[in-house]
A and B are shown apart, each in its own frame.
Chain A
Amino acid sequence: DIRMTQSPSSLSASVGDRVTITCQASEDINDSLNWYQQKPRKAPKLLIYAASNLEPGVPSRFSGSGSGTEFTFTISSLQPEDIATYYCQHYDYFPYSFGQGTTLEIK
């Protein structure tokens, strides 16, 4: 099974900051990677699919890059409503798996 290693596990940043989260896959997954945002007591919400494609309706301050085993998720200018936990998730083959999550808080 593919293991997804996400870092950091938590992050404190100021409004307007650029925020970056990394995700490493234990084997090559091409670009079969999603990034999700989850707020308390809510289902995960898809932000980025196929590593770098913005889901329709998602603000353009969110972006993703990478392929193979190394991936990056970026918020270009952090907003208060971005406080949440973010997860990477591969879907190269079953079983799909998620990273451990990055909890983002406002400094």
Chain B
Amino acid sequence: EVLLVESGGGLVKPGGSLRLSCAASGFTFNNAWMSWVRQTPGKGLEWVGRIKTKTDGWKTDYTAPVKGRFTISRDDSKNILGLQMNSLEDEDTGVYYCTTDPASGLDYWGQGTLVTVSS
């Protein structure tokens, strides 16, 4: 059974930082490009960013609103995907999903973790 389990969400003040993690199992994690998708009240579903595999140089891509503030990482030895979020803004409030990237030919999603940015 494929499982993607996100953790680390919570309440944070504007300008603060938060780190999300996603524990993967049931598929060959190190062969899969992985992504983070968020669902916010303002923009709906938005593809936050992705990280490629070791074979593809662990290259990362980000959507413009988070570039320079968010960093995606992966630990293939532990099957963990990470999302470091800095300089958080009100507009970053939403549910964050860990998912496989469409380029991997897989479509797996976690249950989501809620991030609330508020003073």
Interface residues of A (CB under 8 A from B): 1, 32, 34, 42-46, 49, 55, 87, 89, 91, 94-98, 100-101
Contacts and interface: CB of A to CB of B under 8 A. Distances in A.
Given A95-B61, A101-B44, A44 B109 contact: yes
Contacts of B63: 95
A44 B45 contact: yes
Contacts, number: 41
A100 B42 CA distance: 11
Interface centre among A89, A91, A96 (most CB of B within 10 A): A96
B102 A96 contact: yes
Contacts of A100: 44
Interface in B44-64: 44-47, 50, 61, 63-64
Top 10 closest pairs, chain A to chain B, by CB: A91-B102, A43-B109, A98-B45, A46-B107, A96-B47, A94-B61, A95-B63, A95-B47, A43-B97, A43-B112
